[in-house]
Structure 1
Amino acid sequence: MMSLIIGLGAILVLGVLYMIFRVTNLVAIAKGVKDDKVGPNNSLHGVLFIIFMVVSLVAFFWYSFAHFDGYTLPIASVHGKETDHLFWVTMAITVAAFVIISIIMFVFIYQYRYKEGRRAKFYPDNHYLELTWTVVPAIVLTVLIFTGLSTWNDITSPAKKNAEVIEIVGQQFAWTARYPGVKDNQLGKVNFKLIDNFGNEFGLDLADKNSYDDFKSLELHIPKGKEVLLKIRAKDVLHSVFLPHFRVKMDAVPGMQTQFKFVATKTTKEMRLETSNPDFNYELACTEICGQGHFSMKMPVVVDEWDDYVKWKQAQETWLKQNPKYLDKVPADLREAAMIKAGLEKDPGATVASVNE
C-alpha cells in the first residue's frame, strides 16, 4: 500500500511540474517572447545543474556507506573472497568513471552555457582524444575480463576425484537434490526420456548399478571444508541456482547440464553465531524469472561438519526403497543386487506393483 501511495505521489509531482512547464511556455508566448532567444534564467539553470550534481553524488555515497552492511552478506566459501575482490575492483573502476563523467558533464553544462557574443569552437577530429578514450577503456576491460575468466575457469573446471557430487534439479516451482549413496558414493546415470509423473522425477536409469543407493532430498546438505560439485539440471524452463553466502550462481538450462564447484567454510551453526541470529539459515533461491510461482522457488541449505554430514546421509532412505514399484524396471539379473543395495527386503512380494499399472 505504501509503495502504491509513493508511486501515485511521484506521478502527481511529475504532472504538476509538467503543468508548470506548459504554463510558463504559454506565458512566454503571451508576452511575445521568441523561441530563438535564451530566457533570463539560463544562468540559474546552470547553477541548479551543479547543485543537483553535488547533492546527488553526496546522497549516493552516503547511502552506499550507511547501508553497506545491509547489502553485503558474509562470505562462507573459499572462492567467495576472490569473487568479492573482483566485484569490488570492478565496482571501484565503474564508480570512478561514473563520477568523472558526471562531473565533466554537469560542469560543462554550467561553464559553456549561453552567453551573448560567445561563439562555440568546433573540433572536426582529434586523434589523440579518440585513441585515449578507445585504448584506455579497452585495456581496463581486457584486464577485468581475463581476471574474471581465470576465476570462472577455476570454479567450472573438473572437480577433484574425492569431491562430494550432488545433483540439483529445478522445475516450476521447486528444487530437488539427488545424492549418491554411502555405499558407492557415485551418482547413477540419468536419461530425460525416463522421467515420468509416477515418481522418477530424475529420470534414473535403473540399468546402472550406481543408481540403486541414490536418494533424494528437499534440503540441500553440504559438508564444511570439502569440495562440493553441484551438477545442475532443469526439467522445464530456465532457472538459476543462487547461493548468496557461498557466492554461487549458475543457470539451470533445460537439455544441458551445468556445474559449479566450491568449498564451504562455515557451518550453519557457526554462521548463526557470527550473525547473532539463532534463526539464521542458508538458502538456495531461483534468480531467473520462471513463472508466477518464481518468488516461492526456494530450498533450505544446511552446512554440516563432515561427521554430521555422513550421519545425515546414512540416515536417508534410498530412492528405490521409497519407490519399490520401480523394481520391475531393473534388469532381472541385477534385481537382487539392487534390492540389497537399496536396503529393500529380498522378497518385496505382492507390494511391488508395475509402474505402468
Structure 2
Amino acid sequence: MTDFFLIAIIVLIFLVIFQISKASEYVSILKGEEKSRKQNNKINGFFMIAFLIAGLIGVWYCNKLYYPKTLFTQGAASVEGKSIDTMLWITIVVTGTVFFITQILLFWFSFKYQESDKRKPLYFTHSNKLELIWTGIPAIVLTVLVVFGLKYWFKFTSDAPKTAQLVEITGHQFGWEIRYPGKDGVLGRKNYKLTNPAKANPLGVDWSDAASHDDIHVATTMHVVVNKPVKLVINSQDVIHDVGLPHFRMKMDAVPGTPTTMWFTPIYTTAQMKEKTGNPDFTYEIACDQLCGRGHYTMRGVIIVETQPEFDAYMASQKPEYYKAFPDLDPDKVAVNDSTSKSVAQNIKK
C-alpha cells in the first residue's frame, strides 16, 4: 500500500508541473510573447542571484558540518601520507578557487546581462587569444599537478629502503591473509596449484622451499613497527581487490597472478592515535577499495602499529605455518614427546 501511495504522489507531482507549464503558456499568449519573455528573464535573473547566495551558504554549511568527520582532521599517519595530504590540499585550493570564480561569474553574468532594450549584444565567432587562455592555462596547471602526483607515485612504488619490514598481504573474497618472513627475512615461494586450506596451506606455500619453514601466517590483522618503513607485497587469489589504507593515505590494487608492491612509514602507534583522536576504539583499517563482489563491504582488516619490542613479542608468540601443516615436525611437540619418553623409560627402570 505504501508503494502505491508513493507512485500516486509522484504521478500527482508530474501532473501539477504539467498544468503549471500549460497555464504559463496561456498567460504568455494573453499578455503577449515578448512581454511575457521579458518578465520571465527578470524572474530568472533574480533566481540566479538567489541560487548563487543559497549555493554559497550551502557549501559553507556542508563544509562546517562534514569536514570535522573527515580523516583530514586526524592528519596522515605516515611520512608519505603527509606528502599526499599536501598535494591534495594544493589540488583543492587550485580547483576550489577556479570553482568559486567560475560559478560566481556564471550566475552574476546571467543576472547582469539579461535581455535589455538598452543594450545590444555583441556576437563573435572566434578568438585565438581567448582559446589560448582557457586551454593553455588549465593545461599547464593540470600538468604540474600530474607531475607532482607521478613523483609521489614513483616514490611509493619504487624499491623500499633496505631496512624496511617485509609483509605480504593476500586478498580473497572476502578477507585478507597476512604473511611475515621469519628470522631469515625471506618469504618462501608460493604456487597457486598448492593452495589447500584443508591441509593448512591457504596461500599455496611451497613447503619444499626451506625459506618458508619459518614464515608466519595470520588472518585479518597486520602488525607493523612505528617509524620503520613497511614494504607490502600484495596478491589476490580470485578477483581484483585493492589494499586501501586510508589513515596512511595509501592504496594499491591486488591483481590475480601479478604481485604489486608499495611501501610507507607509519609515524604513530595505535595507542598514540587513540589518544590523538580521543577515540579509545580507534583502529587503523585495511579496506578493499575495489568492488569485488556482494560481500565486498565485509572485506575489512586491521593494522596494529606498535613499538619494536611489542612487535618482537608478538612474532615470538606466533607459530610458523609450516608446523601447522606438519605438526609432527613441530620442535615443541617433539620436545614434549622426548620428555614423555624419558619419563616413561625412567619409570620402567624403577
TM range (shorter): 0.7 to 0.9
Are the equivalent residues in 1 in contact too, given 2:234–2:259 (CA < 8 A)?
yes
Deviation at 1:38, TM superposition (A): 1.1
Residue 169 of structure 2 contacts residue 179 of structure 2 at CA under 8 Å; is this kept in 1? Answer: yes
Q: Which residue of 1 aligns with 2:172?
A: 171
> Secondary structure, in 3 states, of the residue corresponding to 2:75?
coil
- 1:117 positional shift: 6.8
Equivalent residue number for residue 228 of structure 1: 230
- Whose helix proportion is higher, 1 or 2? 2
Structure 2 residues without counterparts, runs of 5 or longer: 338-350
In the alignment, which of 250, 254, 259 is matched to residue 257 of structure 1? 259
Q: Which residue of 2 aligns with 1:242?
A: 244
Deviation at 1:119, TM superposition (A): 4.2
In structure 2, what is the equivalent of residue 352 of structure 1?
none
1:176/1:217 contact within 8 Å kept: yes
Cα deviation, 1:47-78, whole Å, max 9, x if unaligned, reads 11111112112220232144322112332111
Paired position in structure 2 for 1:270: 272
Please give the residue correspondences for 1:128-277 in structure 2 after superposition, counting only pairs within 5 Å. 128-181=129-182, 183-198=183-198, 199-218=200-219, 219-277=221-279
Map 1:58-97 → 2, pairs under 5 A:
58-71=57-70, 72=72, 73-97=74-98
Q: Is the 8 A contact 1:321 1:344 kept in 2?
A: no
Distance 2:169 2:282 in 1: 22
Where does residue 123 of structure 2 map in the other structure?
A: 122
Q: 1:39 to 1:19 in 2, by over 3 A?
A: farther
1:196 corresponds to which letter in structure 2? N
Q: 1:161 to 1:28 in 2, by over 3 A?
A: closer
Letter in 2 for 1:191: N
Q: 1:302 aligns with which of 304, 308, 318?
A: 304
2:38–2:115 Cα contact (<8 Å) kept: no
1:23 is matched with which residue: 19, 40, 43? 19
Deviation of the 1:93 alpha carbon: 0.8
Q: CA deviation at 1:108?
A: 2.0
Matches within 5 A, 1:321-332: 321-324=323-326
Aligned residue for 1:96, secondary structure, equals: helix
What is the CA distance between 1:197 and its match in structure 2? 4.2
User: Could you say what secondary structure the match of 1:144 adopts?
Assistant: helix
Contact preservation (8 Å) 1:318, 1:343: no
Q: 1:202 to 1:137 in 2, by over 3 A?
A: same
Which of 1 and 2 has greater Rg? 2
SS at match of 1:266: coil
Range moving further from structure 2, 233-242 or 30-39 = 30-39
Match for 1:189: what amino acid?
R
- Give the corresponding residue for 2:345: none
Deviation at 1:136, TM superposition (A): 0.5
What is aligned with 2:348?
A: none
Residue aligning to 2:110: 109
- Per-residue CA deviation, residues 14-41 of structure 1 (Å, 9 max, x unaligned), is 973x544422332244453576761523
Moved more, 102-111 or 82-91: 102-111
Instruction: Name the TM-score, length of structure 2 as normaliser.
Output: 0.85
The share of aligned pairs that are identical, in percent, is: 34
Deviation at 1:124, TM superposition (A): 1.1
Gap change, CA 1:35 and 1:310, over 3 Å in 2: farther
**What do the CA deviations read for 1:260-293 (whole angstroms, capped 9, x no partner)?**
1011111111111112222222111112111111
- Once residues 129 and 78 of structure 1 are traced to their aligned partners in structure 2, the CA distance between those partners, rounded to angstroms, is 42
Q: How many residues align?
A: 327
Equivalent residue letter for 2:56: L
Partner letter of residue 68 of structure 1?
A: Y
Q: Does 1:345 align with 2:334?
A: yes
Amino acid at match of 1:47: F
User: 2:207–2:322: 8 Å Cα contact kept in structure 1?
Assistant: no
SS of alignment partner, residue 312 of structure 1: helix
Name the amino acid aligned to 2:19.
V
The answer to whether the 8 Å contact 2:214/2:321 transfers is yes
What's the offset of the Cα at 1:42?
Answer: 2.0
Q: 1:13 Cα shift?
A: 8.4
The separation in 2 between residues aligned to 1:306 and 1:128, in whole angstroms, is: 61
Asked if the contact 1:233/1:253 (under 8 Å) is kept, the reply is yes
